[in-house]
Chain A
Amino acid sequence: MSRQKVVVTGLGVVVPHGDDIDAVYQRIIRGENECGRITKFDPEGFLCQIGSEVKYEVEAPDMVGPYTVHNDALRYVVGAADRAVKYANLDAATGDEQDRRAIVLSTGVGPANIDFLGPIALRLHGEDSDPYTSDMASFYAQAPDEPEAQGLDEFHLDTAAPACAVLIGAAHVNNTASACASGSHAVADAAAMIARGEVDVALAGGVCTPVTRVLVPGFAMLQALSTRNDDPEHASRPFDAGRDGFVMGEGAAVLILESEEHAKARGATILAELAGWGYSCDAYRLTDPQPEGVGMALCMTRAIESAGLKPEDVDHVNAHGTSTPYNDRAETLAIKKALGDHAYKTPVSSNKSMFGHLIHAAGALEGCLSVKTILEGVIPPTANYEEADPLCDLDYVPNTGRPAKVDVILKNSFGFGGMNVSVVYRRYEG
């Protein structure tokens, strides 16, 4: 059975830098930063007070089919999907044609918004009572009639992928999560469905809204976040010797993938080829990457081989580059394992230096920027790179975007729990 060539025909984002991918890319190659002191709540006294927030009004449909777009996460992802569909000039399929379309969306961390719990807690416990001895039973007995309890729906984002399916008329809906690797995982899974001939069109991406009162202090307790609170714009500094953790970012990013045959038949503008993808798991620890980067290297090698390329064909690595001490060191080792001597000649940069870590949306956003890099010919910089770490000794494109002809990009995404995905984007040669 022959493998279908997979191409990218649409990009859509709602991220801290804006909701127009072309403008977002221009800001990124200029090294503009959106990390700052959190404004969505007062972070005074928090271990980490830094976030990368969507601070503008997001335009998105209020309803998609039967689904109400009722919270930030849904607005972001439906907004991004809507923009990607328009970018690709794609109509919604109907009837049997829906069988040829799929959604692969990562929505692993929902809103995790505890605001709605305040009234419940007050009703349950009283302001001054001890919550550990309160009468849960009497509250539970009333719960079905408590309007505040309806807020439990906020804990889940199970309508995001179905809403996107309505947008493009897709019969196949996959809602997946592999932590920080999720966005690229969704892109790779969608590409695999097209490559094997299962569908012709797929909408792939992710959404994340982790800048909340629960998740920011929670991840700070895991020592995953930067605590450079007095200098938030410089907090995300991948591969720099002074890095101390990542910055939580929010937003959504979506790519429209198609078989080359389908894209050509409908006269779509082909932006790039999605040439290969590779998966691996560290099978090591829940919190730390395998320190030698064995699993990371394995998925990079698998992605390159899947694309039918050699390591020396890679022109640029769009790194996972979280800005945590462990990740950046292991990723550097892994790039050297996967690319050999070619690693030292390959520009490696981390977009997270400017918008932080969008967790489940990160891989898709960085995938969108990789496509733009191939089209526009400027490699985004690693911002805030000031002091070299002897253990991170590659060319990280420090602080300034670099003009270059880039034909092949290796995009890495690695997640908590040791879940690794690499995707190869290649210049489309019709």
Chain B
Amino acid sequence: MSTSRDRVVITGCGVLSPFGLGAQTLYEGMLAGESKVEKLPEPRASLRPGYGGEITERPAKVIRGLPASREMRPGTMTRYTFLSTAALGDAMVNAEVPLGPEEGRKDQVAPWEGSKRRGAYIASYTNSDKFDKYVRFAHHVISRKPGGVAIDDSKVPAAIKKFTAFEFLKLMNNMPTAHAGIQGRCRGPVNTFLGTPAGGVQAIGRAFEAIRDDLADVMYAGGVGSSVHDQMMMMRATRHLNSDPDAEPAKAGRPFDKDATGIVPGEGGGMLVLERASTAAERGAPVLAELAGYGDWFKAPTSNRGLPAGPEGMIRAARKAMKMAGIEASEIDLVTALGESDVEVDAIEAAGLAELLGPRVGEVPVLCVTAHVGAVEAAIGPMAASVALMAMKHGKVPGDLNRENPIPEYKGPTSPEPRTMAIRNTLICVMTREGVNAALVLKAV
């Protein structure tokens, strides 16, 4: 293993959000101060909170024209895989990555040499999105017993025939990455990061290390998330984490605001194309920014499923990323945050930002994608990074949607209108209830 410690640059970003395909589309929607959180159709309208940021376009229409593989069929893809393939396809187009032929069983195209130095790390909280289907399966296999019900095993063999074989395969947690490996022609390292909204940032950070460890020259890295499907909405509802069903949907996502009432369901996918700087230069790739630092820090929450145990983990993760990037707090011009819209969690995050930024806390804008599209799980970091890259490119930062009455712990600036400014360094922070915190530093080039 070489440890070349080469510089790593970002040559493309891809996003699928409720605003549509493309980082620029999301960025423009945010600049316009729009929210895509809307009432959901029944039966989910009856599941608290009844609204969310949902992508309503048909998957086949979204991915039409993007780099694809023969394995990308509706029967092989969950919602998460759809988000991943769309965001990755968009990123590949933007990065203008060369793409060799897809190897296949029938035509036996030889493996493409260029794929050997390419990999994919993708995060997804889960890959299971069909609660109603599980319930229906359960319905077919239960029988009434004294004192309740029990699974009747003799009914399972018939019930299972209502499913196709691919329905089990496609639920495996590594499937978004498996698709990415084929879609992106990767014969380098591929892996999936699970279990936390920080996973998207972890995937990017680990992909950054994979290039610096000389395992690959190009890495696709990012995350996907959906909390507008019934399984995730129900899980959040049973934990009483979702926002107030009586809130006006477009006003429900309120990061760092006193009137926030809880998590707003959302969905999206964000993907970056990372490249060794020297390789990107050789092919004349468009360079959006340098990925200069990564850090993570786990701090166990106060209780199982409880609140983060203070801002320490988030601060340590960010400081590790800043140290690796060789920058001080005084050099940060933009921060992206989780902004969960839960007052208690936001207060902890705000306290962390205040400590991190010190005297500059009142000057550095804090960008929150969640205000516009809801909670996008492991996509939050990559989507925020993509918007930040657009802001760095255009010199304009979207305004702070629904941050009308900031909580006292929030000491940052608040502006409903976009701000024009030069951005040298952006800090991407994701603090999570699970206690896993991760951060990136993007440097302008």
Binding site for B on A (CB under 8 A): 1-3, 41-47, 65-68, 99, 103, 107-109, 114-115, 117-122, 124-125, 127, 131-132, 135-138, 140-141, 143-144, 146, 149-150, 152-153, 155-159, 161-162, 165-166, 170-179, 182, 185, 189, 192, 195-196, 198, 213-215, 217-219, 221-223, 276, 279-288, 290-291, 294-295, 298, 306, 415-419
Task: A166-B300, A223-B165, A286-B169 are known; give 17 further A-B pairs, CB within 8 A.
Answer: A124-B139, A143-B234, A143-B237, A149-B234, A152-B238, A155-B235, A173-B436, A177-B192, A178-B174, A185-B191, A221-B164, A283-B182, A283-B187, A294-B111, A416-B169, A417-B172, A419-B177
Contact of B168 among A182, A222, A283 (CB under 8 A): A222
Contact of B238 among A2, A43, A143, A179 (CB under 8 A): A143
> What's the dominant secondary structure at chain B's contact region?
mixed
Q: Are B111 and A290 in contact (CB under 8 A)?
A: yes
Q: Are A3 and B174 in contact (CB under 8 A)?
A: no
Q: Are A217 and B139 in contact (CB under 8 A)?
A: no
Known: A66-B306, A166-B300, A217-B160. A195 touches B1 (CB 8 A): yes
* Cα distance A144–B237 in the bound complex, in angstroms: 5
Is the C-beta of B150 less than 8 angstroms from some C-beta in chain A?
Answer: yes
Q: A138 to nearest B CB, angstroms?
A: 7
CB-defined contacts of B134 to chain A, threshold 8 Å: 114, 117
Within 8 A of A (CB), among B166-194: 167-169, 172-175, 177-179, 181-182, 184-194
Q: Are A121 and B142 in contact (CB under 8 A)?
A: yes
Q: Which 9 A-B pairs have the closest CB atoms?
A: A417-B178, A218-B168, A117-B138, A158-B195, A137-B43, A140-B47, A279-B189, A121-B139, A136-B43
Q: B238 to nearest A CB, angstroms?
A: 5
Q: What residue of chain B has the Cβ atom nearest to residue A136's Cβ? A: B43
Known: A153-B235, A178-B174. A132 touches B136 (CB 8 A): yes
B24-45 vs A: 1/0 string, CB under 8 Å?
0000000000000000001111
CB-defined contacts of B151 to chain A, threshold 8 Å: 41, 114-115, 118, 213
Q: What residue of chain A has the Cβ atom nearest to residue B168's Cβ? A: A218
CB-defined contacts of A217 to chain B, threshold 8 Å: 156-157, 160
Is the C-beta of B144 less than 8 angstroms from some C-beta in chain A?
Answer: yes
Q: Are B139 and A131 in contact (CB under 8 A)?
A: yes
Is the C-beta of B240 less than 8 angstroms from some C-beta in chain A?
Answer: yes
Known: A137-B45, A298-B187. A155 touches B128 (CB 8 A): yes
Is the C-beta of B246 less than 8 angstroms from some C-beta in chain A?
Answer: no
Known: A43-B153, A149-B234, A213-B156. A283 touches B185 (CB 8 A): yes
Q: Are A279 and B202 in contact (CB under 8 A)?
A: no
Q: Are A178 and B191 in contact (CB under 8 A)?
A: yes
Q: B104 to nearest A CB, angstroms?
A: 8
* Cα distance A310–B253 in the bound complex, in angstroms: 58
* Cα distance A229–B143 in the bound complex, in angstroms: 26
Contact of B149 among A66, A122, A182 (CB under 8 A): A122
Q: Are A165 and B119 in contact (CB under 8 A)?
A: no
Q: Are A279 and B165 in contact (CB under 8 A)?
A: no
Contact of A152 among B105, B136, B194, B231 (CB under 8 A): B231
Is the C-beta of B94 less than 8 angstroms from some C-beta in chain A?
Answer: no
* Cα distance A16–B154 in the bound complex, in angstroms: 26
Q: B264 to nearest A CB, angstroms?
A: 16
Known: A45-B154, A298-B187. A141 touches B144 (CB 8 A): no
* Cα distance A213–B237 in the bound complex, in angstroms: 27
Q: Are B304 and A68 in contact (CB under 8 A)?
A: yes
Contact of A127 among B142, B167, B179, B206 (CB under 8 A): B142
Contact of A143 among B45, B47, B115 (CB under 8 A): B47
Known: A122-B142, A137-B46, A281-B188. A46 touches B174 (CB 8 A): no
Q: A35 to nearest B CB, angstroms?
A: 20
Q: B169 to nearest A CB, angstroms?
A: 6
Contact of B186 among A135, A175, A281 (CB under 8 A): A281
CB-defined contacts of A66 to chain B, threshold 8 Å: 300-304, 306
* Cα distance A135–B141 in the bound complex, in angstroms: 19
CB-defined contacts of A178 to chain B, threshold 8 Å: 174, 177, 190-192
Known: A121-B139, A144-B48. A417 touches B126 (CB 8 A): no
* Cα distance A155–B195 in the bound complex, in angstroms: 11
Known: A121-B139, A131-B136, A283-B185. A175 touches B195 (CB 8 A): yes
CB-defined contacts of B258 to chain A, threshold 8 Å: none
Q: Are A158 and B304 in contact (CB under 8 A)?
A: no
Q: Are A44 and B154 in contact (CB under 8 A)?
A: yes
Q: Are B139 and A125 in contact (CB under 8 A)?
A: yes
Q: Are B193 and A174 in contact (CB under 8 A)?
A: yes
Q: Are B163 and A417 in contact (CB under 8 A)?
A: no
CB-defined contacts of B306 to chain A, threshold 8 Å: 66
Q: A61 to nearest B CB, angstroms?
A: 14
Q: Are A162 and B154 in contact (CB under 8 A)?
A: no
* Cα distance A217–B140 in the bound complex, in angstroms: 15
Q: Are A286 and B179 in contact (CB under 8 A)?
A: yes
Q: What residue of chain B has the Cβ atom nearest to residue A287's Cβ? A: B169
Q: What residue of chain B has the Cβ atom nearest to residue A198's Cβ? A: B209
Q: B126 to nearest A CB, angstroms?
A: 6
Contact of A161 among B143, B179, B195 (CB under 8 A): B195
Known: A124-B135, A178-B190. A171 touches B297 (CB 8 A): yes
CB-defined contacts of B104 to chain A, threshold 8 Å: 284
Q: Are A176 and B71 in contact (CB under 8 A)?
A: no
Is the C-beta of B132 less than 8 angstroms from some C-beta in chain A?
Answer: yes
Q: Are B163 and A107 in contact (CB under 8 A)?
A: no
Residue among B1, B230, B300, B302 with most chain A CB within 10 A:
B1
Q: B420 to nearest A CB, angstroms?
A: 38
* Cα distance A152–B111 in the bound complex, in angstroms: 42
Contact of A175 among B120, B131, B196, B231 (CB under 8 A): B196
Q: Are A44 and B115 in contact (CB under 8 A)?
A: no
Is the C-beta of B316 less than 8 angstroms from some C-beta in chain A?
Answer: yes
Q: Are A131 and B140 in contact (CB under 8 A)?
A: yes
Contact of A42 among B76, B153, B193, B230 (CB under 8 A): B153
Contact of B135 among A120, A182, A214 (CB under 8 A): A120
CB-defined contacts of B435 to chain A, threshold 8 Å: 162, 173
Q: B184 to nearest A CB, angstroms?
A: 8
CB-defined contacts of A284 to chain B, threshold 8 Å: 103-105, 182
CB-defined contacts of B346 to chain A, threshold 8 Å: none
Q: Are B135 and A117 in contact (CB under 8 A)?
A: yes
Residue among A136, A155, A176, A214 with most chain B CB within 10 A:
A176
Q: What residue of chain A has the Cβ atom nearest to residue B143's Cβ? A: A127
CB-defined A-B contacts under 8 Å, sample of 28: A3-B1, A43-B153, A66-B300, A99-B320, A118-B142, A118-B151, A121-B142, A125-B139, A137-B46, A149-B238, A158-B195, A162-B298, A162-B434, A172-B298, A173-B296, A175-B194, A178-B174, A192-B209, A213-B141, A221-B165, A221-B168, A279-B190, A283-B187, A284-B104, A416-B172, A417-B177, A417-B178, A419-B190
Q: What residue of chain B has the Cβ atom nearest to residue A222's Cβ? A: B165
Q: What residue of chain A has the Cβ atom nearest to residue B303's Cβ? A: A66
CB-defined contacts of A103 to chain B, threshold 8 Å: 298
Is the C-beta of B148 less than 8 angstroms from some C-beta in chain A?
Answer: yes
